[in-house]
Structure 1
Amino acid sequence: MKKGLLWLVALFLLIGSLSVFAAKRNSNLIVIITPSHDNPFFKAEAVGAEARAKELGYQTLTLIHNDDANKQNELFDTAIARRAAAIICDNAGADATIAPVRRAKAAGIPAFLVDREINATGLAVAQIVSNNYQGAKLGGEEFVRLMGEKGKYVELVGKESDTNAGIRSKGYHEVIDQYPDLKLVARQSANWSQTEAFSKMESIIQANKDIKGVICGNDTMAMGAMAALKAAGMGHVIVVGFDGSNDVRDSILRGEIKATVLQPAYRIAQLAVEQADRYLRTGSTGEREKQLKDCILINKANANKLETFMLKN
């Protein structure tokens, strides 16, 4: 009798599990979670993912975590409660995102991460990111060339908790530190923010009127730095960014910011959706979990071909 009861319980649990699995397999919803769309880079990710998902016949729900790990937790719970087919996410922290991705996996919802990796493997189905180190080396080489291999310079770094901030800075210095006549006079985090970059640059300028260049961890900080330099009558200072935004493209074409490094945000987000669709249909993406996509140097020679984080042929 006891043995029969155990078999009955086991059968009940199995049927429940299969029902949940079937419900998830029948889901037509892809949830897209990114930082604030005030940054055009993240907006391009969301737009790219939405467009491709709809082309493939999915419904979409786009949510914003504002780089707040607690908010991101809530949004993952929303995706789980909505029985999403998959989650596309540009995450709010390499460590903070491990737990929500694990919860989604336990609920049978595959996660596809873009732009930023997490400090764990085997939880997300895919982590598709720009090759930030390769891109930073490209930016560093162009900065050295523009600087003529000498002069005082400033570095504005991204959010310290963001893995990409450290990788880009390391890539820059892998190149720049080979030139002893390039002197770093200030290095500060502006947290990827244009407003904060403007404020930090204003303070740096007061103590360093003779700087020749500023290298930035992203384009929004480059725009803030250039605005502060122009306000101080120092618009001639060399500024290099990273991302490939339309705003910096226009600045390059005006002869202000000198260069940036394009990371193809729009296409990477579309790839994540395409791999999610393949995974949901076949059980495999056919790709490794960690995938690096090369960056492209953008300067006056090719800036007119740049549009919404894509380089037109």
Structure 2
Amino acid sequence: MTRCLPLCGFFLLLTSLSIRADVIAYSTSGQDSFLNQLAQAVELRVSEYSAHSYVESADHDLEAQVDHIRKFTQADVDAIILTPVSASPDAVKQLLDARGDSDIPLVFLNVMPDQHLVPDGVVVVGSNEVESGTMEMETLAELADYQGQVAILKGQPGHPAAEIRTQDIYDVVDRYEGMKVSLNETANWSRNEAFNIVTRWLKESPDDFNIIAANNDEMALGAIMALEKAGVDPNRYWIGGVDASPGALRAMKAGILDVTILQDGNAQARSAVDAAFRLMAQHPVASPIWVPFKRVTPDQVDRYLE
């Protein structure tokens, strides 16, 4: 897990350096397996530039993240990378306003606001979410022979990835007469919440789904845990997620997860850090920077477990 030092300690570090190396400050929206992977990849890439990194988690609190940006700006860091709590127009405006008139380079990572919401010179890095949910659901549909009832485990409401991935699932299901979405509940990216929801589905609606399409791997793993806890073989269901997290890959290797979509957090983080250093050198950077998703199925899992 990425360690987040108190901001006061960070400022003391900056002022104590007699010859200050470049400092990249990263505000992440929260901490889970994927967000921690992103943060660690940011730290690694920054170290390859012989620079310092500082990571702070907002714990899904927009006000806290606005405060991060304000304090990073006051500390005169060399660049700011940001995975926003929300990419809504109001949230993006608050985050940009917190930077004031500063010309410190700013890069949005993974959670992508619409490009028209950010000024020239601010770079957005991420992946096209239409690919993720579409690839996941098309694979599940093919495995189910285009027949069946789909239960959706949705991420945080209002989060661009949750909204787009969920719509992707509906769009794919609508293409096939033998399929429908029968259940759709919000589990907020959480394994525990998904566990509780699927446990309830098994009691109240056990015959209403044979496909589980989760917006991320944590929720897919929560669904698998609920099935196993109830004494139900997960192989009775087609189950998919997004992220290709280590836990999901292990579940796939064990034969209980059918598809996951690799959101290449390492590549996103590298691209964000590279963009920050180019901006620091006053080189132009085209935005957005797209990092493609990749489908991972059991026949490929060993390649990603290496």
TM over 0.5: yes
Larger Rg: 1
Does residue 172 (structure 1) correspond to residue 166 (structure 2)? The answer is no
Are residues 105 and 265 of structure 1, via their aligned partners in 2, closer, same or farther at CA, if it must alter by over 3 Å? farther
Output the CA distance in 1 between the equivalents of 2:255 and 2:52.
Answer: 42
1:103 CA displacement: 3.0
- Conserved 8 A contact 1:104-1:111: no
Question: For residue 181 of structure 1, what is the amino acid of its counterpart?
Answer: G
1:53 CA displacement: 0.8
Question: For residue 28 of structure 1, what is the amino acid of its counterpart?
Answer: D
Are residues 34 and 99 of structure 1, via their aligned partners in 2, closer, same or farther at CA, if it must alter by over 3 Å? same
Output the CA distance in 1 between the equivalents of 2:98 and 2:62.
Answer: 14
When normalised by structure 2's length, the TM-score is: 0.87
Does residue 245 (structure 1) correspond to residue 245 (structure 2)? The answer is yes
Question: For residue 35 of structure 1, what is the amino acid of its counterpart?
Answer: S
Give 1:304's aligned residue.
Answer: 302
Output the CA distance in 2 between the equivalents of 1:97 and 1:253.
Answer: 40
Question: For residue 270 of structure 2, what is the amino acid of its counterpart?
Answer: Q
> Identical aligned pairs, as a percentage?
22
Are residues 203 and 221 of structure 1, via their aligned partners in 2, closer, same or farther at CA, if it must alter by over 3 Å? same
Does residue 131 (structure 1) correspond to residue 128 (structure 2)? The answer is yes
Structure 1 residues not aligned, in runs of 5+: 1-25
Equivalent positions of 1:98-109 (< 5 A) are: 98-104=93-99, 106-109=101-104
1:179-231 deviations in whole A, cap 9, x for unaligned? 12113221011111111111111112212212211000011111111111111
Question: For residue 124 of structure 2, what is the amino acid of its counterpart?
Answer: Q
Question: For residue 273 of structure 2, what is the amino acid of its counterpart?
Answer: V
Paired residue total? 280
1:162-188 deviations in whole A, cap 9, x for unaligned? 011111112222212111211322101
Question: For residue 298 of structure 2, what is the amino acid of its counterpart?
Answer: K
- Conserved 8 A contact 2:29-2:60: yes
Once structures 1 and 2 are overlaid, which stretch shifts more, 60-69 or 169-178? Answer: 169-178
- Conserved 8 A contact 1:154-1:215: yes
Which of 30, 37, 40 in structure 2 is aligned with 1:36? 30
Output the CA distance in 2 between the equivalents of 1:243 and 1:215.
Answer: 13
Which of 288, 292, 300 in structure 2 is aligned with 1:294? 292
Are residues 124 and 248 of structure 1, via their aligned partners in 2, closer, same or farther at CA, if it must alter by over 3 Å? farther
Which of 206, 213, 217 in structure 1 is aligned with 2:203? 206
Coordinate RMSD, CA, aligned: 1.7
Q: Which runs of 4+ in 1 moved over 3 A?
A: none
Question: For residue 284 of structure 1, what is the amino acid of its counterpart?
Answer: P
Which secondary structure state, in structure 1, belongs to the residue aligned with residue 50 of structure 2?
coil
- Conserved 8 A contact 2:258-2:297: yes
Output the CA distance in 2 between the equivalents of 1:103 and 1:68.
Answer: 15
- Conserved 8 A contact 2:67-2:98: no
Does residue 225 (structure 1) correspond to residue 219 (structure 2)? The answer is no
- Conserved 8 A contact 2:153-2:184: yes
1:27 CA displacement: 7.0
Output the CA distance in 1 between the equivalents of 2:121 and 2:281.
Answer: 17
1:243-286 deviations in whole A, cap 9, x for unaligned? 1101000000000111100010111111110111111113422x
Output the CA distance in 2 between the equivalents of 1:86 and 1:160.
Answer: 30
Which secondary structure state, in structure 2, belongs to the residue aligned with residue 169 of structure 1?
helix
